[in-house]
A and B are shown apart, each in its own frame.
Chain A
Amino acid sequence: MLNYLIKRILWMIPMLIGISLISFFIMHLAPGDITSNESAFNPKASEESRQKLRELYNLDKPIVVQYGLWLKRIVQLDFGSSFASHQRPVLWEKKDENGNIKPGLIQKALPITLLINLLTILLIFSISILLGTIAAIKKNKIPDRVITLFVFVGFAIPGFWLALILMYSFGVVNQVLPISGLHSIGYEQMSKLGQILDLLKHLALPVFISCLSGLAGISLYVRNGMIEILNQDFIKTARAKGLYEKKVVFVHTLKNALLPLITILGLSIPGLIGGSVIAESIFAIPGMGKLFFDAVLMRDFPVVMGILTIGSILTLLGNLVADLAYAWADPRIRRGLAK
């Protein structure tokens, strides 16, 4: 088991180098660099100054050299600073000699994205398991049909459209929820509890919207898994020996039907740090999606690479965790690994 773990972790190193190499080159395939954004297209801004900036950031060097420089920094865990004129550190805050702090870009964007995604995943899984189970028990009856229709409508509705409709009805017409942003004006003066409530109010719509599209996949997974297992012999045995139906469904069937979800859960770990550009723009949430999108448009290479690197590390770790969790949950696989 330990051997397996060490082997897997060692394998991640060449994988990461491969991923970063490919990302780096693909990123540079797109024409342009930080000096070619729209505000630089200004007759008052001279080409010489742009050239100077290119030299400063080594953008005039061959890509291989640029990659080497990047790799040299990254092995020291230095993600560098943004090319944008604020030059904020990509990952974590930096203190200057006077004790002034420049906050890191990912450091500021990640917590809020994580919070939203964790809430979303929690909601998706709990609602989906509930809906999937009901649909499986009432297979092909009205509740099953209604649930299937509901999750598919939720999946098919364009999120940005529904978001705008909900913002309008809950924020403008009936002013019960805030329209956009993370905090109300005057947030600093609120009590701790008030601040939490204020934040939750602001997150209600974004979380609801991102939940809705995720329900379909997982609830159908649960439903089909349940149906398959309900038809298996050991369930028949369980029923034959007179177990309560509740116990048959919620203990014997559900437990087995949830196994594949572990893989899905593991695979959604890298997704935790990714945000939706559209949702973040509409709800004015300064999260990872907008950060990445803007960085790509600006050709802000250190930020793009920083997010991609952290994303790939998390993906690889997520796979590993999923495999391990699977082994933990399913004795059949555990035995396979031990051999």
Chain B
Amino acid sequence: MHKFLALLFLSLVVGCNNSQNLDNTNYDDPALPESGGALTNAMIGEPNNLIAMIAGDSASSAIAGQIFNALLKYDENLGFEGDLADSWIISDDYKKITFNLKQDIKWADDKPFTCEDVLFTWKKVTDPDTRTPYGSDYQLVSSASCVNDYTFTAEYDEPYAPALETWSSLHILPEHLLKDEDINDTYFSLRPTGSNYYALDEWTTGQQVKLKTNPNSVHGRPLLEEKITRIIPDLSSQFMELIAGNIDLMSINPIQYSRVFPSRSELNDKINLYKEMGNGYTYFGFNLKKKPFDDVNIRKAISYAINKEEIINGVLLGLGEEITSPYKPGTYWENKSINKISFDVSRSRELLETSGYQLNANNIYEKDGKTLAFEILTNQNKQREMTAVLIQRRLQDIGIDVSIRVIEWASFVNRFIKTGEFEAVVLGWSLSLDPDQYNIWHSSQQGPGQFNFIGYNNPRVDTLLEEGRKELNNEKRKQIYDEFSKIIYDEQPIIYLYAGYGLTAIHKKIKGVKRVTPPAGVFHNDYEWYIPKKFRRNEMSL
């Protein structure tokens, strides 16, 4: 036994020392772009269904996005550019959008793409029999039609500002393959035919999805010939596959980014790290229908008592930013003029005392014999749990008695959020690219299952949200949402905690990755990525 253990340890130790010499290739060698090669990456879950409007999971959209096009897409700086559309015109009354579609485009099966495909897709997404959760945006289109084979028009009863965004997220499907199919349950969802850079080559259930270039791609041929996505549910296993060189890229966590990589120079010889603003933020939200959270002073007092910098350092190892509006920092819609509420214990105490709270003998704030105590709910998510613990400690310090409860997601939503049986939550929302926040903040959205579950109700904000949806002039729209952001921040119905960075590790043999990540993200130009022949993996040797 001792021998066995000793041997095991020896092999580990000796192994560790040897490992660095295995791979002597200098991946920094410059090389000219050449097409071919296979990029291997990993995902934690398997796609459900490659028709994105039906699927709804992120794995599905990630793969489907490489196979299908929308009418529009975001450019490098998060403006719109044509995808299947060449250009688009918005009428003067903002109620009609005319898309001029690209001509002479073919689907991957060589059938021509026309306006009928767009019309068909719109009909499907608004069809009550289609099981899509995303229909409501497109139901606002009162009439859609094809003027000719290459002109598509969508008319709205009321101007709808997020319209362009909605047309950038609807994958256009081929009518000729789907018109006789039940879109909810069709084989097409496993073997789709699209128009984008890649086409599905092989899908090994539970193991990997292999894409190869689509010769009819709308935007020409990408350099990488194949993209293999392996399904590896465990992130530590993914990381080992990455450092063993079996996968070429993955998104990593803050510990890997700022602890593992800096301490192991041999990893930096073959892997580059990229940091960009992530897509979501974490907040601390109150149930505004319950006492004492209906009192803005209490909410502000709690906000002053929480050290957000400490949370970012503790939970994200500094790899995140404080935000003051629900928009990506650095983008157009962010309201930069808002002053941050920073950690200030004495200001917090002042506010609590203004609201009539006094410290009792146990050093807990109390009013009318009731102590200031509540429960923070969150779901099973390590970062949110850690955040809740840090909040608990700071609030304990000041004299607020906080307990934490961590619950599995489905129970969390059904037992607590839907019923309104909660006091405070640590949760997240995505940082949307369109500023519309109607579903989260409008007072009409408080029913069970709707998203204003904290019960926020402010007539001025309602008006702003309604106006913002109708205003297509970006400057005027910006003013509306600046005011909206300011009111929300002043009233603190939720406390914005942090927006974490998206961290990506990419093997150095992948060339063409932009060193300075554009606002649209590191993957934005992945059609230009390439692997020089000398660095390609000998696939049989694995």
Which residues of chain A from 140 to 191 have a CB within 8 Å of any chain B CB?
Answer: 146, 149-150, 153, 164-165, 167-169, 171-175, 178-186, 189-190
User: Digit string of B1-41 for contact with A (CB within 8 Å is 1, else 0)?
Assistant: 10010000001100110110010000000000000001010
| Number of cross-chain contacts by CB at 8 Å | 183
Interface residue tally for chain A (C-beta within 8 Å): 69
Chain A residue nearest to B538 in the complex (CB)? A186
Partner of B411, one of A32, A38, A172: A32
- Which residues of chain A are near B101, meaning CB under 8 Å? none
- Report the stretch among B128-136, B310-318, B469-477 that lies at the interface: B128-136
Residue total for B at the interface (Cβ-Cβ under 8 A): 74
Stretch at the interface among B53-61, B103-111, B146-154, B286-294: B53-61
Contact B19 A172 (CB under 8 A): yes
A86-B191 Cα distance, complex, nearest whole Å: 12
Is A32 touching B410 in the complex (CB atoms < 8 A)?
Answer: yes
A297 CB to nearest B CB, Å? 7
CB within 8 Å of B: which A79-126 residues: 81, 84-87, 96, 98, 100, 102-103, 108-109
| Chain A 43-66 per-residue mask, 1 if CB under 8 angstroms from chain B, else 0 | 111111111110010000000000
A44 pairs with B19, CB closer than 8 A? no
Residue of B nearest to A108 (CB): B205
Cα A38 to Cα B409 in complex, Å, equals: 7
Decide if A309 is an interface residue (CB 8 Å cutoff): no
| List of A residues within 8 angstroms of B16 by Cβ | 173
Q: Which of A47, A175, A182, A286 contacts B449 (CB 8 A)?
A: A47
Q: Within the complex, which residue of B15, B206, B447 is in contact with A173, where a contact is CB–CB below 8 Å?
A: B15
Q: Are B40 and A185 in contact (CB under 8 A)?
A: yes
User: Smallest CB-CB separation from B22: which chain A residue?
Assistant: A175
A253 to B11, CA, bound (A): 40
- A237 contacts the other chain (CB 8 A): no
The residue in chain B whose Cβ has the minimal distance to the Cβ of A53 is B131
The interface residues of chain B lying within 8 Å CB-to-CB of A47 are 447-450
Determine whether B440 belongs to the interface, using a CB cutoff of 8 Å to chain A. yes
Q: Is A282 part of the contact surface with B, judged by Cβ < 8 Å?
A: yes
Is the beta-carbon distance between B408 and A181 smaller than 8 angstroms? Answer: no
Tell me, yes or no, whether B542 is within 8 Å of chain A by CB. Answer: yes
In the complex, what residues of A have CB within 8 A of residue B413's CB? 31-32, 36, 41
Does chain B have a CB within 8 A of A284? yes
- Smallest CB–CB gap between B329 and chain A, Å? 20
Q: Does A299 contact B (CB under 8 A)?
A: yes
CA distance A280 to B234 in the complex (A): 9
Q: Which among B131, B236, B440 is the interface contact of A56 at CB below 8 angstroms?
A: B131
* Chain A residues, Cβ within 8 Å of B234: 180, 281-282, 284
* CB pair B542 A184 closer than 8 Å: yes
Instruction: Check B207–A183 contact: CB distance below 8 A.
Output: yes
B133 x A45 contact (CB < 8 A): yes
* Interface assignment of B361: CB less than 8 Å from any CB of chain A: no
Sampled A-B contacts (13; CB under 8 Å): A32-B410, A42-B430, A47-B447, A50-B133, A85-B48, A150-B1, A171-B244, A172-B244, A175-B244, A178-B542, A180-B241, A184-B542, A284-B234
- Report the 6 A-B pairs with minimum CB-CB distance, sorted nearest first: A286-B206, A32-B410, A45-B133, A173-B15, A31-B414, A100-B187
